[in-house]
Amino acid sequence: MSNEISLMIAIPLIGAVLAFLTRSRGLARIVALLASLAPLIISLQMYMGFDKSSKMMQYVESYDWVPSLGIKYTLGVDGIGMPLVLLSTIVSVLVIVYSWGENHRPNQFFALLLLNEVGVLGVFTALDFFLFYIFWEIVLIPMFFLIGIWGGPRKDYAAIKFFIYTHVASLVMLISIFALYFTYRTPEGLHTMDMLTLLQATSDTTIFPTALLNLIFLGLLLGFLVKMPAFPFHTWLPDAHVEAPTAGSVVLAALLLKMGGYGLFRVIMPMLPSVSDMFVTLLAVIGVISIVYGGFMALAQKDIKKLVAYSSVSHMGYVTLGAVALTTMSVQGAMFQQFSHGLITCVLFMSAGTIQHTVGTRIIADLGGLADRMPRFAFLMLAGFLASLGLPGMSGFVAEFLVLTGSYATMPYYVLFVIFAGIAVTAGYHLWAVQKVMFGPILKKYLDVHDAHSYELLSMSLLILLVILFGVQPGLITDMMGVAAQQLIYDPVMTLSQMGVI
């Protein structure tokens, strides 16, 4: 039995404790960097050894934890989880590099970033519902404090709103998990928290009547949609992003939002064949509205950070739409959109953060001509915004192309027409924002502005290189997702032996 995943989770946890205890700013950030680099190396080794043709869970670890309650410590990855594990370790390293100049309580700051990595890695690998929920809740803690301590003028309001929305949704999800737990018994007459066993059991109407399963499904769905967030559960996101420090916004958009999308693939889609057909229609409507609404709201923003926040609502709409279009290509595209958006949104929020601490404002109308004084930064920001609007040759284009092409076979033509209108709006607000901020005559008050710091440019440069790499060679990631996407469409409730757990 392998232990790569446990090691990958344990190292940043130990690093968080060490960073928190140190009183030296320099030592704290070095500890944080080393503690995030180790999981990245492990995840790359896992990626290299990942069998892309296998239907089974890989790197599985399973130990009895509380046998009397049917709770196990079970971890593993497949084509759904492995790309997000890789994304999490990449982003965690680069956000620490970007935050190298953090001076305010740096030991606690870097410790919280590492704790966040622990939580998201746990969510993307846990195969026991109890363990999954623990990691799900762990993530709330560092994000609450990152917003509440290092945030902007309305940080208290934003932190509390974030916590209330996400925690209440998590409690609803927990009720559904307990409903699954207490309704099902193994052949030995025991309850279990094993995720794959419970999801398999939902296909048996003698155990889970449709009415009960619909309620359980709705509770789980609510927990995931709030986290994504999808319309109309998105209202906590703009406030959280605007008030959060740059690093907080990056991990929130790149990683925490992906937890909701991961829940759609890991939990919701295996249950879809057993619940009411109305849920497929409902999710399709939510996905389309999120794409269009998020785009128009982004177009109306005056704060560039809020613009990027609403763009995340729009882009995550493609994940929902692709998942319920129920074709292999659309599901694969939705999974790839999760990965691609995680990289691209890092660049966008890093751009907004660099502008804020360099010139002192994020208000688009107060900016202009910064490319004259910040040429290297301007190039990277432009590349990031072009990637976000779906420029061919970058990963964002591949993701949206797969979703739209895959959805064509199952979605009505007028739905696709609405989506294309949303794409046009997306291009509009991205190009408008870059033009207003970076080009045109430079304002006199910005004549003494300097270019971004080297560590900021390094982080953004590496992200852009990855966006281009996966835009030119998407198979590096999509090949991992192919088998998982097919399973979700043609055999959503896999047997445990297929999954390689027993």
pLDDT single digits (tens) 466-487: 999 999 999 999 999 988 888 8
Residue 152 lies in a domain: yes
- Quick one: three-class SS letters along 70-85? CEEEEEEECCCCHHHH
Q: How far is the C-alpha of 463 from the C-alpha of 42, rounded, in Å?
A: 19
Residue 69 lies in a domain: yes
Q: What is the pLDDT of residues 94-119, one digit of tens each?
A: 999 999 988 889 999 999 999 999 99
Q: Compute CA 391 distance to the chain's CA centroid, rounded to the nearest angstrom.
A: 21
Say how many domains are in the chain: 2
- Quick one: three-class SS letters along 392-434? CCCHHHHHHHHHHHHHCCCCCHHHHHHHHHHHHHHHHHHHHHH
Using the structure block, give the residue that is written with the tokens 């409902």: 282
Give the 3-state secondary structure of residue 194.
strand
Residue 218 lies in a domain: yes
Contact 26, 110 (CB under 8 A): no
Judgement on whether residues 115 and 212 belong to the same structural domain of the protein:
yes
Residue 499 lies in a domain: no
Residue-level pLDDT at 494: 53
Residue-level pLDDT at 158: 92
Judgement on whether residues 263 and 283 belong to the same structural domain of the protein:
no
Residue 73 lies in a domain: yes
Residue-level pLDDT at 499: 46
Judgement on whether residues 227 and 309 belong to the same structural domain of the protein:
no
Residue-level pLDDT at 495: 37
The parts of the chain modelled with pLDDT lower than 70 are 1, 492-502
pTM of the predicted structure, to 2 decimals: 0.93
Residue 498 lies in a domain: no
- Which of 240, 275, 310 represents a domain boundary (last residue)? 275
Distances 293 to 250, 300, 316, 336 between C-alpha atoms, Å: 22, 11, 12, 22
Q: Within 10 Å of residue 393's Cβ, how many Cβ atoms?
A: 13
Q: Compute CA 9 distance to the chain's CA centroid, rounded to the nearest angstrom.
A: 17
Judgement on whether residues 251 and 336 belong to the same structural domain of the protein:
no
Judgement on whether residues 20 and 1 belong to the same structural domain of the protein:
yes
Judgement on whether residues 269 and 283 belong to the same structural domain of the protein:
no
Judgement on whether residues 305 and 444 belong to the same structural domain of the protein:
yes
Contact 260, 279 (CB under 8 A): no
Judgement on whether residues 76 and 202 belong to the same structural domain of the protein:
yes
Judgement on whether residues 281 and 337 belong to the same structural domain of the protein:
yes
Residue 348 lies in a domain: yes
Contact 161, 239 (CB under 8 A): yes
Give the 3-state secondary structure of residue 442.
coil
Angle between helices 395-407 and 375-388 (to 10 degrees): 10
Residue-level pLDDT at 501: 45
Residue 502 lies in a domain: no
Q: Which residues of 422-447 are buried (b: 16+ CB within 10 A; e: fewer)?
A: bbebbbebbeebbebbbeeebeeebe
Residue-level pLDDT at 61: 92
Judgement on whether residues 245 and 312 belong to the same structural domain of the protein:
no
Q: Which spans in 264-362 are helix H?
A: 269-271, 278-299, 304-325, 328-359
- Which of 275, 305, 328 represents a domain boundary (last residue)? 275
Judgement on whether residues 264 and 347 belong to the same structural domain of the protein:
no
Residue-level pLDDT at 372: 86
Judgement on whether residues 377 and 426 belong to the same structural domain of the protein:
yes
Q: 276: which residues sit within 8 A by CB, 6+ positions away?
A: 210, 214
- Which of 275, 290, 311 represents a domain boundary (last residue)? 275
What residues make up the domain containing 115?
A: 1-51+59-275
